[in-house]
């Protein structure tokens, strides 16, 4: 099927997904692991090991949970489900069909044997994926109904689509006689499987595309199988493009019309051989080639087997000038989605002065805000730690200053009402939220020019916290409600000059569907996930995690219960610690939380750059 191209050759391609994949490429990992399939003598149990570790009674930490964790990736058992047998009842046929979709390695051939010939020819299980926590046994004769609980859906690309309503969680199958046996005539175009099956075989990954100005990579989360097809699945997803609705958000430098030639083999020395075929030619400029290879490198580095990539298009090698055709997966740092050469230090205020360093080495910076108190109540430092923005005068004004060296403190936003802590993106755009009498006003400051931006669900609301992803493709807001706070994430669209065109309608994230605790703070945990602190009681807070697409946390999920805590310091950079700020100091939530690390007197807030 032809996919439209909407750019000249010197610009990135933005392509909606308009052709089906040829095999299951992406599948979900869901929150719980519980599936018990009765009937046909097939019992499949793949529970997760959930750890809960009690911590000392002394200090702020009360309890910690590591979240769900899967078995070793290579330990998923092989499953060879039985084919249909003569004389099966309608309910047994549906039961057998559902069980057969759990073949491992992934194969829907046996499942199709439970369908009529016409239905089998038309069935497209790659169109969607439905997972469930549990289900009832099939009920009925000619019309067999199966009720799912905890059901969720992913699209053909493996992108999370959210929980299914009660009505959509009821699957109905029409069963009729063909050649003397009962067969299903109207299967759903989806792979329908229990959570535990995917918890053992799939995990969330990112496909890396490019922002509209081709300055930074933009990750799009999907789910992929962790097996011998992992590399092939990643490349197939990348070739599909950033998906529908990506115009102005992200694009790709992979030429349109290409497909993976059979598979992506990985050699013993860790080289992925990516061979693409189709009616397209490889890029001709060094810049486009570099961006294409950066997309591949960042996407394929998620496969631990791969150390380098070799790319060919229709048999023609693609290489950079002077290169040998091997592109290391550690290259492409210039387009890092967390910002090239971004600072890894913590920044905050101590007795009104700007300090930086590690938890135990915080010291005043040698810039003007490190030596002279000007009434700053909160600060944000840009990614390269050259400029700091500070809220002053009780939230009615904003100043900027160099982090280091001599320079002036410049008042850039006078006459505000109640400014939240601002946020920087990779292009040094400064995002501001002013909480006025009519609700929040969102704006973007570039240099001396400030432009108002309408953010659906956020503008005009009671906003308590506001974040921007470093790649500038997402904005996150905590909106106060009468009974429960809402955590919202929206995508940002830009024109070819880097100006904000509009912000999409938000998706509401649910870090803990069972909790109604107020949200104290939110911080980045990775480029595609957030840490969320909720207040459970006067002396208790909980920190959990949620994906920016609304998907539940996978095996590396976060669930920590603390005593009193006032905020988070989090970073999207792998390896940088996630901290909770408590009355006794900082608690490192990255691994198993320990007792708080005391902070110097007068330190009131801490954060990473951004």
Check if the beta carbon of residue 196 is closer than 8 Å to that of residue 135. Answer: no
| Residue 277 CA neighbour count, 13 Å, CB half | 6
In the structure, what pLDDT confidence band is assigned to residue 514 with cuts at 50, 70 and 90?
low
Share of the chain above pLDDT 90, in %: 77
Distance between CA 144 and CA 91 in Å, rounded?
Answer: 6
Residue 44 tokens, joined: 């499949």
DSSP per residue over 384-400, as a string?
TSSEEEEEEGGGTEEEE
87 pLDDT more than 60 = yes
The Cα-based distances of 212 to 248, 427, 496, 530 in angstroms read 6, 12, 6, 24
In the predicted structure, residue 201 carries a pLDDT above the cut 60:
yes
SS3 421: coil
Q: Which of 73, 100, 78, 336 shows the shortest CA–CA distance to 230?
A: 73
What would the pLDDT profile of 217-228 be if each residue is shown by its tens digit?
Answer: 999 999 998 988
**pLDDT tens column, 90-133:** 999 999 999 999 999 999 999 999 999 999 999 999 999 999 99
More confident residue, 284 or 461: 461
Architecture of domain 79-200: Roll (3.10)
Residue 28 has pLDDT above 50, yes or no: no
Joined together, the tokens standing for residue 224 give: 């992929």
**Between 59 and 478, whose confidence is greater?**
478
Question: Where do the structural domains in the chain lie, given as residue ranges?
Answer: 45-73+510-610, 79-200, 211-335
Q: Which pLDDT score, from 0 to 100, does residue 540 have?
A: 94
Q: What percentage of residues in the chain have a pLDDT greater than 70?
A: 87
Q: What does DSSP assign to residue 280?
A: -
Rounded distance, CA 211 to CA 243, Å?
Answer: 14
Q: Hey, CA dihedral for 18, 20, 24, 28, is it positive or negative?
A: positive
Q: Does 285 have pLDDT greater than 70?
A: yes
DSSP state of 582: E
User: For residue 53, what pLDDT is reported?
Assistant: 27
Ranking 62-76, 166-180, 260-274 by mean pLDDT, the lowest is 62-76
Strand partners, 130: 153, 192
Place of tokens 């009690």: 54
288 in Cβ contact with 202 (< 8 Å): no
Please give the Cα distance from 106 to 201 (Å, whole number): 10
- CA angle at 510 for the pair 505 and 511, rounded to the nearest 5°: 130
pLDDT-derived band of residue 383, with 50, 70 and 90 as boundaries?
Answer: very high
């Amino acid at each position: 099927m032809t996919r439209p191209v909407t750019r000249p050759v010197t610009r990135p391609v933005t392509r909606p997904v308009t052709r089906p994949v040829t095999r299951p490429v992406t599948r979900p990992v869901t929150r719980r692991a519980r599936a018990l399939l009765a009937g046909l003598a097939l019992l499949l149990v793949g529970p997760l090991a959930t750890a809960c570790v009690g911590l000392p009674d002394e200090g702020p930490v009360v309890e910690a949970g590591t979240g769900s964790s899967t078995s070793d990736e290579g330990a998923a058992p092989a499953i060879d489900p039985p084919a249909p047998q003569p004389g099966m009842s309608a309910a047994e046929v549906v039961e057998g069909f559902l069980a057969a979709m759990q073949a491992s390695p992934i194969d829907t051939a046996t499942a199709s044997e439970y369908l009529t010939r016409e239905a089998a020819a038309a069935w497209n299980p790659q169109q969607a994926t439905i997972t469930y926590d549990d289900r009832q046994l099939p009920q009925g004769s000619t019309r067999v109904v199966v009720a799912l609980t905890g059901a969720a859906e992913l699209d053909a690309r493996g992108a999370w689509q959210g929980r299914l309503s009660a009505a959509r969680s009821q699957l109905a199958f029409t069963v009729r006689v063909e050649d003397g046996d009962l067969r299903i005539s109207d299967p759903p175009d989806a792979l329908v499987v229990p959570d535990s099956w995917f918890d053992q075989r799939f995990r969330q990954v990112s496909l890396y595309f490019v922002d509209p100005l081709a300055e930074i990579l933009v990750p799009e989360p999907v789910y992929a199988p962790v097996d011998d097809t992992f590399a092939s699945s990643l490349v197939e997803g990348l070739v599909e493009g950033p998906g529908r609705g990506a115009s102005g958000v992200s694009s790709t430098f992979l030429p349109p019309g290409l497909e993976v030639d059979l598979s992506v083999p990985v050699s013993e020395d860790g080289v992925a051989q990516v061979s693409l075929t189709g009616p397209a030619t490889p890029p001709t400029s060094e810049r486009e080639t570099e961006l294409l290879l950066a997309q591949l490198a960042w996407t394929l580095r998620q496969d631990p087997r791969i150390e380098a990539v070799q790319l060919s298009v229709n048999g023609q090698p693609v290489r950079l000038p002077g290169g040998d055709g091997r592109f290391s997966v550690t290259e492409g740092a210039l387009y890092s989605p967390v910002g090239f050469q971004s600072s890894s230090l913590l920044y905050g205020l101590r007795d009104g002065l700007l300090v930086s360093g590690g938890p135990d080495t915080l010291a005043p910076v040698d810039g003007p805000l490190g030596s002279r108190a000007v009434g700053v109540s909160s600060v944000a430092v840009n990614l390269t730690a050259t400029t700091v923005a500070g809220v002053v005068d009780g939230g009615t004004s904003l100043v900027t200053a160099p982090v280091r060296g001599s320079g002036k403190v410049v008042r850039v936003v006078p006459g505000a009402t109640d400014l939240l802590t601002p946020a920087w993106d990779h292009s040094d755009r400064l995002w501001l939220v002013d909480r006025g009498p009519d609700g929040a006003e969102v704006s973007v400051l570039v240099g001396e020019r400030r432009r108002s931006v309408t953010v659906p669900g956020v503008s005009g609301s009671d906003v308590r916290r506001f974040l921007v992803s470093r790649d500038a493709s997402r904005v996150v807001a905590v909106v106060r409600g009468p009974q429960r706070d809402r955590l919202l994430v929206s995508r940002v669209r830009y024109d070819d000059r880097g100006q904000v065109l509009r912000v999409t309608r938000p998706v509401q994230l649910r870090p803990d569907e069972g909790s109604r605790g107020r949200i104290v703070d939110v911080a980045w945990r990775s480029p595609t996930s957030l840490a969320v602190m909720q207040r459970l009681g006067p002396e208790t807070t909980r920190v959990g995690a949620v994906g920016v697409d609304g998907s539940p946390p996978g095996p590396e999920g976060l669930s920590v219960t603390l005593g009193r805590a006032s905020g988070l310091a989090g970073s999207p950079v792998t390896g940088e610690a996630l901290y909770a700020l408590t009355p006794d100091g900082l608690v490192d939530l990255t691994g198993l939380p320990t007792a708080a690390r005391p902070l110097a007197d007068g330190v009131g807030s801490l954060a990473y750059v951004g």
